[in-house]
Amino acid sequence: MDSYRHKGLRSKLVQTLVQKGITNRRVLQAISEVPRHLFLDKAFEEWAYKDQAFPISSGQTISQPYTVAYQTELLDPQPNDKILEIGTGSGYQASVLSLLCKRIYSVERHLSLYQSTAKRLKDIGYNSVRTLYGDGYLGAEKFAPFDKIIITAGATELPQALITQLKIGGYLVIPIGQHEDKIMIRITKKEDGSLGKEEFGHFRFVPFLQGVT
């Protein structure tokens, strides 16, 4: 399932990410461990360790490794964190996070994708990821509050429910923009409930859509 060849390709990918400016050692270590080829159809295995996004089922994509590393670095996951991801997709980002903190909840709005990814994560053995089917606009109230929240689809606005479900002192990382080009934003919830906002680089994402399908 995971060969020396795959491991070698992953360490090259990690070198590429370092060259592109990723510095967090724990994040790089997690990327060097997660077998990304198991998140693509077998026919496309060749593409797994290129630093590129790639189409998966239901018209969605597995995020580019650089984007996964970048968002994870901004989230600064700590071992005891409880994290919410919106946009499970292939489950790759959730798997990377699962090596860095205690509990991950991940919401997907596409039923068939939710089902196939839940099975994949179970097969690979990433048991600390709890996959949920639903509309990520609403977050996951039942399991709130979260130390950190990450949105892996391109939004046009900041959903209020997600802010409500974030702990004081917590981070929320979300790509926002009115067009295809999104700006990566990190929101910090302060002691008095007000929000801090930092802006980072430009990225492209599949759209964050309301409702389920």
- Give the catalytic positions in this structure: 63
Q: How far is the CB of 32 from ligand SAH (least distance, A)?
A: 17
Q: Give the helix/strand (H/E) hosting 86.
A: strand 82-86
In the complex with ligand SAH, the residue whose CB is nearer, 111 or 168, is 111
Q: 182 has which bridge partners?
A: 203
Question: Are the C-beta atoms of 99 and 17 separated by less than 8 Å?
Answer: no
Please choose, from the candidates 89, 48, 47, the residue with its C-alpha nearest in 3D space to the C-alpha of residue 71: 89
Pick from 36, 37, 110, 189: which binds ligand SAH (CB under 6 A)?
110
Alpha-carbon distance of 183 to 189, in angstroms, equals 19
Q: How far is the CB of 205 from ligand SAH (least distance, A)?
A: 7
Residues of span 148-167 touching ligand SAH by CB under 6 A: 152-153
Residues of span 187-206 touching ligand SAH by CB under 6 A: 206
Q: How far is the CB of 106 from ligand SAH (least distance, A)?
A: 8
Q: Which residues fall within 8 angstroms of residue 74, CB to CB, at 6 or more apart?
A: 171, 173, 184, 186, 200
Q: 172 has which bridge partners?
A: 149, 187
In the complex with ligand SAH, the residue whose CB is nearer, 14 or 31, is 31
Pick from 22, 34, 101, 107: which binds ligand SAH (CB under 6 A)?
107
In the complex with ligand SAH, the residue whose CB is nearer, 20 or 190, is 20
The secondary structure of the chain in percent helix, strand, coil, rounded to multiples of 5, reads 40, 30, 35
Q: What is the residue whose two structure tokens read 């650089």?
A: 66
Pick from 73, 81, 108, 147: which binds ligand SAH (CB under 6 A)?
108
Total Cβ atoms within 10 A of residue 103: 17
Pick from 66, 92, 171, 203: which binds ligand SAH (CB under 6 A)?
92
Q: How far is the CB of 33 from ligand SAH (least distance, A)?
A: 15
Alpha-carbon distance of 106 to 140, in angstroms, equals 9
Q: How far is the CB of 194 from ligand SAH (least distance, A)?
A: 26
13: its two tokens = 């990918």
Residues of span 35-64 touching ligand SAH by CB under 6 A: 60-63
- Contacts with ligand SAH, residue ranges (CB under 6 A): 60-63, 86-87, 89-90, 92-93, 107-110, 113, 135-137, 152-153, 206, 208-210
